[in-house]
Amino acid sequence: MFAMKLTLILLGALLYLVGSGCWFFWIAPRLLADGETADILYAFAGTCAWLLISFGLTIHIIKTARPTVGGGR
């Protein structure tokens, strides 16, 4: 059971890091290079989506590590 959880955690971390790297070093710079309004809006929306995913992942990690802090009685 521990090996399965560790594998899922490492796979999730790898996917997050690869996705972040692709977004910031490959996709977003290409969108901003053109300078068209639609491309700039796509880059802004993608960055907002990345921030929401990062925030959700952070909250999930905190809630998993300390489930009774904050909302428990």
The one-digit pLDDT tens for each residue of the chain (73 residues) are 788 888 988 898 999 999 999 999 999 999 999 889 999 999 999 999 999 999 999 998 888 877 676 655 5
Residue 1 lies in a domain: no
pLDDT at 39: 92
Give the pLDDT confidence score for residue 73 in this predicted structure.
54
Residue 42 lies in a domain: yes
**53 is in which domain, residue-wise?**
19-60
Q: Quick check: is 39 in a domain?
A: yes
Q: What is the pLDDT of residue 63?
A: 85
Structurally, how many domains does the chain consist of? 1
Look up the pTM and report it: 0.77
Alpha-carbon span 19 to 28, nearest angstrom: 12
Contact 53, 23 (CB under 8 A): no
Instruction: Return the structure tokens found at 6.
Output: 């560790």
Note whether residue 33 is domain-resident: yes
